[in-house]
């Protein structure tokens, strides 16, 4: 609610109007307004609008690979709307996997489809493990995410939290290898977090 208060000024309005005999000090009306603001982004150094990211509220890119044979692999996400994961502006990631056959699987972060550029570079080496030096003390390039054995329960979602290791990746998929001992239908989804 707008209001005014009286504040001290090192000049007087009368002196400012040109009356030299007026006192130097005076008081002025100071408007008191409270205005809420919302920060939705900024203009970068090139003048482009950059919006502030927010975490996904739900798992997205829900995909299903039907009857993946033992030792077979599937790439996720794989829908007509979501063919890869873009982590630009996101720090962490959650992935969810739901198989129909209990047992082990391998999980790899790989480059996404070669039809999607990585920033301005195309084609990417599709399906190959993403590699990098992900700690300040790292001296060698290593796979960013390569887990050879994860035990999954049949017909329930298992959710994994991946902290920072895959941040800012622009064209990524997950390769899930079925090592459960039999054919399995595998479902997948992901959630990006800031």
Task: Mean pLDDT check: name the lowest of 9-23, 76-90, 147-161.
Answer: 9-23
What is the distance between the alpha carbons of residues 101 and 180, in angstroms, rounded to a whole number?
Answer: 7
Distance of CA 97 to the CA centre of its chain: 19
Query: Given this model, what pLDDT does residue 80 score?
Result: 87
- 186 bridge partner residues: 65, 99
- What's the mean per-residue pLDDT of the chain? 88
Within this chain, do residues 84 and 10 fall inside the same structural domain, yes or no? no
Burial of 125 (0-12, 13-18, 19+ CB in 10 A): exposed
Within this chain, do residues 167 and 101 fall inside the same structural domain, yes or no? yes
Domain-embedded: residue 20: yes
- 81 bridge partner residues: none
> Residue 6 pLDDT more than 80?
no
Within this chain, do residues 146 and 116 fall inside the same structural domain, yes or no? yes
Per-residue pLDDT, averaged over 113-131, amounts to: 94
pLDDT band at 25 (very low <50, low <70, confident <90, very high): low
Q: Tell me the two tokens of residue 156.
A: 């329930």
Query: Given this model, what pLDDT does residue 49 score?
Result: 86
Query: Given this model, what pLDDT does residue 39 score?
Result: 80
pLDDT band at 192 (very low <50, low <70, confident <90, very high): very high
Residues 6 or more apart whose Cβ sits within 8 Å of residue 165: 134, 144, 145
What is the distance between the alpha carbons of residues 107 and 61, in angstroms, rounded to a whole number?
Answer: 17
Give percent of the chain above pLDDT 90. Answer: 68
Query: Given this model, what pLDDT does residue 36 score?
Result: 83
Query: Given this model, what pLDDT does residue 40 score?
Result: 83
Within this chain, do residues 93 and 20 fall inside the same structural domain, yes or no? no
Helix residue ranges, H only, the chain: 13-16
Per-residue pLDDT, averaged over 43-57, amounts to: 88
Helix (H, G, I), strand (E, B) or coil at 16: helix
First to last CA, the chain: 35
Q: Quickly count: other Cβ atoms within 10 Å of residue 124's Cβ.
A: 21
Within this chain, do residues 147 and 83 fall inside the same structural domain, yes or no? yes
Per-residue pLDDT, averaged over 16-36, amounts to: 67
Within this chain, do residues 17 and 91 fall inside the same structural domain, yes or no? no
> Residue 155 pLDDT more than 90?
yes
What is the distance between the alpha carbons of residues 60 and 76, in angstroms, rounded to a whole number?
Answer: 11
Domain-embedded: residue 17: yes
Within this chain, do residues 109 and 186 fall inside the same structural domain, yes or no? yes
Query: Given this model, what pLDDT does residue 8 score?
Result: 57
Domain-embedded: residue 131: yes
Within this chain, do residues 82 and 13 fall inside the same structural domain, yes or no? no
Widest pairwise Cα distance in the chain: 100
Per-residue pLDDT, averaged over 93-97, amounts to: 98
Within this chain, do residues 111 and 15 fall inside the same structural domain, yes or no? no
CATH code for position 81: 2.60.120.380
Within this chain, do residues 28 and 55 fall inside the same structural domain, yes or no? no
pLDDT band at 73 (very low <50, low <70, confident <90, very high): very high
Within this chain, do residues 65 and 26 fall inside the same structural domain, yes or no? no
pLDDT band at 28 (very low <50, low <70, confident <90, very high): low
Number of domains in the chain: 2
Within this chain, do residues 27 and 55 fall inside the same structural domain, yes or no? no
Domain-embedded: residue 45: no
Domain-embedded: residue 41: no
What domain range includes position 21? 3-32
pLDDT band at 34 (very low <50, low <70, confident <90, very high): confident
């Amino acid at each position: 609610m707008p209001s005014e208060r009286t504040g001290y000024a090192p000049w007087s309005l009368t002196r400012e109007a040109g009356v030299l005999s007026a006192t130097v000090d005076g008081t002025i009306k100071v408007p008191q307004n409270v205005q809420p603001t919302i920060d939705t982004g900024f203009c970068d150094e090139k003048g482009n609008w950059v919006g502030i990211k927010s975490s996904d509220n739900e798992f997205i890119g829900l995909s299903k690979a039907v009857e993946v044979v033992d030792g077979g692999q599937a790439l996720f996400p794989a829908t007509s709307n979501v063919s890869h994961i873009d982590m630009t502006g996101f720090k962490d990631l959650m992935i969810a996997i739901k198989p129909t056959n209990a047992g082990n699987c391998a999980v790899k972060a790989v480059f996404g489809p070669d039809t999607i550029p990585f920033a301005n570079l195309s084609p990417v080496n599709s399906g190959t493990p993403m590699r990098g030096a992900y700690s300040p003390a790292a001296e060698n390039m290593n796979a960013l995410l390569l887990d050879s054995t994860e035990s999954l329960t049949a017909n329930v979602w298992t959710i994994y939290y991946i902290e920072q290791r895959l941040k800012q990746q622009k064209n990524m998929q997950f390769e899930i290898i079925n090592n459960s001992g039999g054919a399995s239908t595998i479902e997948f989804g992901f959630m990006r977090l800031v």
